[in-house]
Structure 1
Amino acid sequence: MSAIRDHLNVHAQALQLREQRNGVLASNIANAATPGFKARDIDFTTALNEAIGNSEMAVTNAGHIPVAGNGGNNMLYRDPTMTSLDGNTVELSVEQMEFAENTLRYQSSLEFLNSKIRGLHQAIRGE
């Protein structure tokens, strides 16, 4: 039973982190016109590895600067490609692309988790 829980835990943790990341990205998009706002993101790979107890693989984007926040050590400031005169680091096209990709990955993780649960349910029923 523990193996099943551990196997499903990875996918459950991934869903939670994807949901948290969508919140951060949505906040970035909502503050695209706020002077001085600094765009943030979550280092998903590191956060997932820490959540499942496998923190030896710490990977970050070279354009990110680590800071503390809701995601712990995995909350990062995004390094903009173009600087803004008002100090805002949100690049709307980047944030929208990251949000769309993260949403797609969230849906894929959810479908995968649902198929695993359906498979287990069928195995329990002997189908």
Structure 2
Amino acid sequence: RKKNIFKLSQGEYVAVEKLESTYKKSKLLDQVWVYGNSFKSSLVAVAVPGAGLQAWAASNGVAGDMDAIVQSPAAKKAVLDELQALAKGDKLKGFEVVKALHLDAKPWTIDDDLLTPTFKLKRP
């Protein structure tokens, strides 16, 4: 789909579905959406954590419910480190590796207008 390819500020084209399939391998996350635009040189991931991140938080001293966990800098760093390790494992190019992350505690749904009726991620 045309919306799934975009250009970064340095002129590189990014096929975002390929990247999302790599990042979905994370055991810490349930949903991942990658964003980039022609005004920035790096990618941002927006992700919904899963049970894996709750288990990580419990074993690493991050207390609270999922809303508290997603606000934790340690949790964000752990997820970002895992995403970057997955990117390295799949031999992604430097501009295809996410450099920033936002964690969203609420799973995405069709009712939120974040998924299509066929459960694909919506893009702006």
Higher-RCO chain (CA-CA 8 Å, sequence separation at least 6): 1
TM-score, normalised with respect to structure 2 = 0.28
Query: Rg larger in 1 or in 2?
Result: 1
Flag the structure with higher strand content: 2
Flag the structure with higher helix content: 1
TM-score, normalised with respect to structure 1 = 0.28
